[in-house]
Amino acid sequence: MKRRTAAVLTTVLAVAAASTAAFFALPASAETATFAVQSSWNNGYQAQVTVNNNTSSQITTWKVELTLPAGTTITQSWNAAQAASGNTYTFTPVNWNATIAAGASTSFGFIVNGTGRPTSCLVNGQACTGTTNPSPSPSTSVSTSTPPTTGTPVQVNGQLRVCGTKLCNEHGQAVQLKGMSTHGIQWFPNCYTDASLDVLANEWSADLFRISMYVQEQGYETDPAGFTTRVNNLVEEATERGMYALIDFHILTPGDPAFNLERAKTFFAQVSARHANKKNVIYEIANEPNGVSWAQIKNYADQVIPVIRANDPDGVVIVGTRGWSSLGVSEGSNSSEIVNNPVSASNVMYAFHYYAASHKDNYRAEVERAAASLPLFVTEFGTVTYTGDGAVDVASSNAWFDLLDRLKIGYANWTYSDASEGSAAFRPGTCNAGSFAGTGSLTESGALLRNRIRA
Ligand code: IDC
């Protein structure tokens, strides 16, 4: 694990270096900081600063001071505490990234209003880059590489964003992500191991790994810190393998998300701060609201989304919908209530869930209708009935796959687990045995999904 993390970090630093502006000189054995523009638009840009500890001992705090030209301001930042005096912005650590081991680094990011790049950079009171090397000429260009066609899903697609009613990759092309959902992570820890995730990434070629963190039912509410750590660790595992990680705040009973509003704010503040600099994290803020109006769900979303955006301004957020994320259909409504009153944020998608043996033509018709106006993501579906059990409905499952493929709607299947129920991809006992590879441990549902996802 350590070795892989180091490799990932090296890659990140190499990428950062490619569009790095150098500022001043500094002896080689000290702290340095590099500035990189990550994306830009008409009158603004997003940037990242990486603080490197080049000394041979651990440091326990750091300070970066950036001066911007008049008329250019920093509007928000993440993974650092920000203070401003005139045009100079001072960044200091948040609690978890104060300490940097010898030779290690940490990063923070910010959004700038205006196009001016920093004219001065100090780290711990000294210039950000070293004098011993000639200063490279400052570069303010943004990478405009042509889209790669090979590599992991994240290498190929990068940072996602909602484009109209579709999900697009960082090159502006519509993408359909296909993957698997965990079962409740409180119940199936042995199903989410290095071995199982290697199989999901390398053998199944999954784009997406949904991490279902129940809030009730022995979940988050019983141990917030412990479950936050477990989710963070699984996000890191997905990241190491180049998969997108979908963080599912799995509310189910009670169905009113307001019941868990404060928990959601706490949880999403922490995970979005931790993963702000990653390109592969998607936030699903309410698995299946039920027994509540769309207005109540929207009210919850309008309070949780800003918490995420404060840390991770470009992360895609998916909002659950009325009637167990049925776009309202299972409670006698439909998607018009969302179209007429969308959440107060951009870069947002709406969740639709189905279980193929229970939800058929009338649900498919509503998805087709809704997809003309709303960005949709099937963050959970089953091939069986809505109980999670029973026989695979192959005909209905295939009708759903055809529809989702045609509309380029991404999906995650319930579940990548060995639960004793028809929706599980593996037969009971698989996870304890660690026998995830090949087809020998698959259920009928698992075999169907493995074929679909690999295709
Ligand atoms: C089911 C599990 C089952 C568990 C139950 C209650 O498969 O083992 O006992 O939850 O926690 C959903 C929910 C999802 C359900 C699934 C199948 O998002 O939590 O999982 N389902 O019933 N919505 C529709 C179906």
Check if 170 is active-site. Answer: no
Residues 139 and 160 occupy one common structural domain: no
- Ligand 1 centre from 2 Cα, in Å? 35
Q: Which tokens go with 203? A: 């053998």
Classify residue 358: in a domain, yes or no: yes
Q: What is the mean pLDDT of residues 406-418?
A: 98
Tell which atom from ligand 1 comes closest to the C-alpha of 414. 16
Classify residue 377: in a domain, yes or no: yes
Residue 349, classed as helix, strand or coil, is: strand
pLDDT at 449: 98
Using a 6 Å cutoff on CB, does residue 248 contact ligand 1? no
pLDDT digits (tens, 9 = 90+) for 120-137: 999 988 888 854 333 333
Using the 8-state DSSP alphabet, how is residue 242 labeled?
T
Using a 6 Å cutoff on CB, does residue 286 contact ligand 1? no
Pairing state between β 178-181 and 44-53: unpaired
The answer, yes or no, to whether residue 384 has pLDDT greater than 70, is yes
Tell me the C-alpha distance between 216 and 255, whole Å. Answer: 11
Domain boundary among 88, 118, 144: 144
User: How many residues are given for the chain?
Assistant: 455
> Which protein residue's CA is at the shortest distance from atom 2 of ligand 1?
388
Q: What is the mean pLDDT of residues 76-105?
A: 86
Using a 6 Å cutoff on CB, does residue 390 contact ligand 1? no
pLDDT at 146: 62
pLDDT at 130: 55
Domain boundary among 144, 176, 201: 144
Question: Max Cα separation, the chain?
Answer: 70
> How many domains is the chain built from?
2
Check if 203 is active-site. Answer: no
- Ligand 1 centre from 350 Cα, in Å? 19
Using a 6 Å cutoff on CB, does residue 421 contact ligand 1? yes
Residues 219 and 157 occupy one common structural domain: yes
Residues 273 and 362 occupy one common structural domain: yes
Tell which atom from ligand 1 comes closest to the C-alpha of 380. 18
- Ligand 1 centre from 172 Cα, in Å? 35
Residues 276 and 410 occupy one common structural domain: yes
Phi first, then psi, for residue 157 (nearest 5°) are: -105, -25
pLDDT digits (tens, 9 = 90+) for 144-202: 346 678 899 999 999 999 999 999 999 999 999 999 999 999 999 999 999 999 999 99
> Which protein residue's CA is at the shortest distance from atom 1 of ligand 1?
388
Tell which atom from ligand 1 comes closest to the C-alpha of 386. 25
Q: Domain residues for 27?
A: 11-144
pLDDT at 45: 83
pLDDT at 30: 78
Tell me the C-alpha distance between 241 and 7, whole Å. Answer: 12
Beta bridge partners of 41: 44
Residues 167 and 254 occupy one common structural domain: yes
- To test the pocket of ligand 1, the residue of 191, 210, 214, 414 to mutate (highest count of ligand atoms within 8 Å of its CB) is 414
CA 180 from chain centre, in angstroms, equals: 15
pLDDT at 356: 98
> Which protein residue's CA is at the shortest distance from atom 19 of ligand 1?
252
Using a 6 Å cutoff on CB, does residue 414 contact ligand 1? yes
User: Where does the pLDDT of residue 38 fall: very low under 50, low under 70, confident under 90, or very high at 90 and above?
Assistant: confident
- Ligand 1 centre from 389 Cα, in Å? 9
Q: What is the mean pLDDT of residues 286-295?
A: 98
> Which protein residue's CA is at the shortest distance from atom 4 of ligand 1?
388
Tell me the C-alpha distance between 171 and 181, whole Å. Answer: 26
In this structure, what CATH number is given to the domain that contains residue 270?
Answer: 3.20.20.80
Catalytic residue, candidates 31, 288, 366, 421: 288
- Ligand 1 centre from 415 Cα, in Å? 10
Residues 80 and 183 occupy one common structural domain: no
Using a 6 Å cutoff on CB, does residue 380 contact ligand 1? yes
- Ligand 1 centre from 455 Cα, in Å? 27
Using a 6 Å cutoff on CB, does residue 159 contact ligand 1? no
Residues 135 and 159 occupy one common structural domain: no
In this structure, what CATH number is given to the domain that contains residue 112?
Answer: 2.60.40.290
- Ligand 1 centre from 432 Cα, in Å? 21
